[in-house]
Amino acid sequence: MKLAGKKFVVVGGGGLIGSHTVDLLCKEDISEVIVYDNFFRGSEENLANALKDPRVKICDFGGDILHSDILNDVFAGIDGVFHFAALWLLQCHEYPRSAFDVNIRGTFNVMEACVKQSVARLVYSSSASVYGDALHEPMKEDHPYNNKNFYGATKIAGEAMLNAFHHRYGLNYVGLRYMNVYGPRQDYHGAYIAVIMKMLDAIDQGESPTIFGDGSEAFDFVAVEDCAYANICAMKADVVNKNYNVGTGFRTSLKELAEKLIQLTGTDLPIQFAPRSQATLVRNRIGDPTLAEKDIGYQAQIDLEVGLRGLISWRKNHKEEVAARRRAAGITD
């Protein structure tokens, strides 16, 4: 889809990837962006820059995807929808029924409203969690669904439902399976990624970053700005009814990550290893991004060092916000 002159709704646009996508949309010649978010996790601070642009508005009806009639009204006259709203992994683990309500029923509402209002294209946020623990690396899109938790189950359900909506009603969509997303505006709720914030907190206090276990778990850490870029690529592309990996294709162990943070912060603290306090959900996950490059033109632009520098500098310039996110996650200093 050509973006010029078009109107978009960003569902869950107050969150991490959504707010960066709104920022990128503002660089395009679009006519309007409506953020539809109940701010259960995201925040207006995330949109502080974007809201200076008169084309960006926050939906003033509360913005909950469980309110299907409101969703339906807001999607009237909209050309494209980005759908980011979801409960996060650990919350789905604790509250499976809420996970079902928001991530499956809410996502169904988004699809249904797209069909009712003839929205030309939907970009869905799936997740690398659909793969579970990697059976082989790097994972291509045909890697089996090896997921064992409720969060991954909701994302698989979303993908399956989209496929059905496409075949039954012709819904034009693309799904994106993000790997482990980090960057400015991240909070402490992520199951794998919050470790970066906690290590940086420790380093800021002159303490060693702690790794629970031996640090050999390895992930594909992808910068949030690259994920936002993947969303724009996906909205512009012609391909339909497919899901793509959004990552870098590079593997980084937690030990390598800690070493990189120590190096980038200019400290010489040793890493502290502690016994694993809880079962690890996933030990390895690296996604092959070549299909996304071929079909939607996405290629990660930001390497880990550059991305982590961006996060470190955001933390330095947003100390109050970081402290508020720490409190919101129940972390006491």
Ligand X SMILES: NC(=O)c1ccc[n+]([C@@H]2O[C@H](COP(=O)([O-])OP(=O)(O)OC[C@H]3O[C@@H](n4cnc5c(N)ncnc54)[C@H](O)[C@@H]3O)[C@@H](O)[C@H]2O)c1
Interface with ligand X by CB under 6 A: which residues? 12, 14-18, 37-42, 63-66, 84-86, 88, 102, 106, 125, 127-128, 178, 180-181, 190, 193
CB of 147 to ligand X, least distance (A): 12
Closest CB to ligand X among residues 128, 291: 128
- CA separation for the pair 195, 221 (Å, rounded): 12
Which backbone phi and psi does 254 adopt, to 5 degrees? -65, -35
CB of 24 to ligand X, least distance (A): 14
Closest CB to ligand X among residues 9, 128: 128
Closest CB to ligand X among residues 18, 132: 18
CB of 113 to ligand X, least distance (A): 12
Closest CB to ligand X among residues 269, 324: 324
99: how many CB neighbours lie within 10 A of its CB? 23
CB of 39 to ligand X, least distance (A): 5
CA–CA–CA angle 280, 300, 49 (5° rounding): 95
- CA separation for the pair 314, 143 (Å, rounded): 35
Largest CA distance in the chain: 59
CB of 177 to ligand X, least distance (A): 7
- CA separation for the pair 144, 147 (Å, rounded): 9
- DSSP class of 285: E
- CA separation for the pair 68, 62 (Å, rounded): 12
Closest CB to ligand X among residues 79, 226: 226
Q: By Cβ distance, which residue is nearest to ligand X? A: 15
